[in-house]
Amino acid sequence: MTPVKFYFDFLNQASRSLYILLEASKIPFEAIPISMVKGEHLTGEFRDKVNRFRKLPAITDHGYQLSESVAIFRHLAREKLVPEHWYPHRHLGRSRVDEYLAWQQTNMDVACTDYFQQKWLVPYLQKTRPSDNAVNSASKQLEHTLNDFEELFLNSRKFMLGENISYADLSAICEIDQPKSIGYNTFKNRNKLARWYEAVREELGPYYTDVQKEFEAKLKLTNDAAQGEKQAQAVKQ
């Protein structure tokens, strides 16, 4: 079987969740890292040969190009051997996963991405300090969204759908890691969220911790490079 080509950047949450799904499901794939901060996904070559949307993550599967992480997830679930628990037929589990993923796209993903951009990405790209106003406003939106997540999707059960982990859990933890990894106080007054987070982390084991380590190393490396550049500038002046 020709392996799926998977284009990704660990700085991006959906890249991490799909990478973990591919690994945990043992789907043969060729991992092709693309640097978003260097703009490698914005080139004409990437658009023409990989992905007309110029977005990450992306796949090509036997020459078929596909974008949008939720579409890639469903494509894998249909075309490859993805264990049933990730997207279960039983008890209308698929409808529940679909409902969460749609909610995530206009709520969780917007809030986590905005906080990450205002606090980390925009300052990095523009070589400035984060704007207090922008970070405060992103922080309030995130607060609100995490409360909604707890209230609408978590319950007394171990995972969102019950005793088994699904792609909804995997996708959500990678979203939440976006602000968490740059210092956001995710679990303050959120015991239910903290319990769920630990359960998901434990269930995913090394598939998750390996990717998470690479994500954090990449954050640190990028920060250090920016810091080094600043010091070099200061010496020059």
| Binders in 2-61 for a second copy, by CB under 8 A | 52-53
Residues 85, 94, 201, 218: which binds a second copy (CB under 8 A)?
94
Instruction: Report the site for a second copy in 105-134 (rule: CB under 8 A).
Output: 105-106
**Nearest to a second copy of 148, 203 (CB atom):** 148
Identify which of residues 73 and 159 has a Cβ nearer to a second copy in the complex: 73
Does position 69 interact with a second copy (CB under 8 A)? The reply is yes
| Cβ 111 to a second copy shortest distance, Å | 13
**Binding range to a second copy, per CB under 8 A, among 3-11, 87-95, 137-145, 215-223:** 87-95
Q: In the structure encoding, which two tokens stand for residue 100, read together? A: 């969460």
99 is an interface residue for a second copy by CB under 8 A? yes
Of 93, 72, 87, give the one whose Cα is nearest residue 29: 72
| Tokens coding 133 | 């106003």
Least distance CB 79 / a second copy (angstroms): 8
Of 16 and 55, nearer to a second copy (C-beta) is 55
Total count of residues recorded for the chain: 237
Residues 154-193 that bind a second copy (CB under 8 A): none
**C-beta of 205: minimal distance to a second copy in Å?**
29
Regarding 103 and contact with a second copy (CB under 8 A), the answer is yes
* Residue 95 touching a second copy (CB under 8 A): yes
Q: Which residues pair with 64 in a beta bridge?
A: 61
Binding residue for a second copy, selected from 5, 75, 192, 195, defined by CB under 8 A: 75
Rounded to an integer, what distance in angstroms lies between the CA atom of residue 101 and that of residue 106? 9
Which residues bind to a second copy, rule: CB under 8 A? 52-53, 64, 66-71, 74-75, 78-79, 92, 94-95, 98-99, 101-103, 105-106, 152
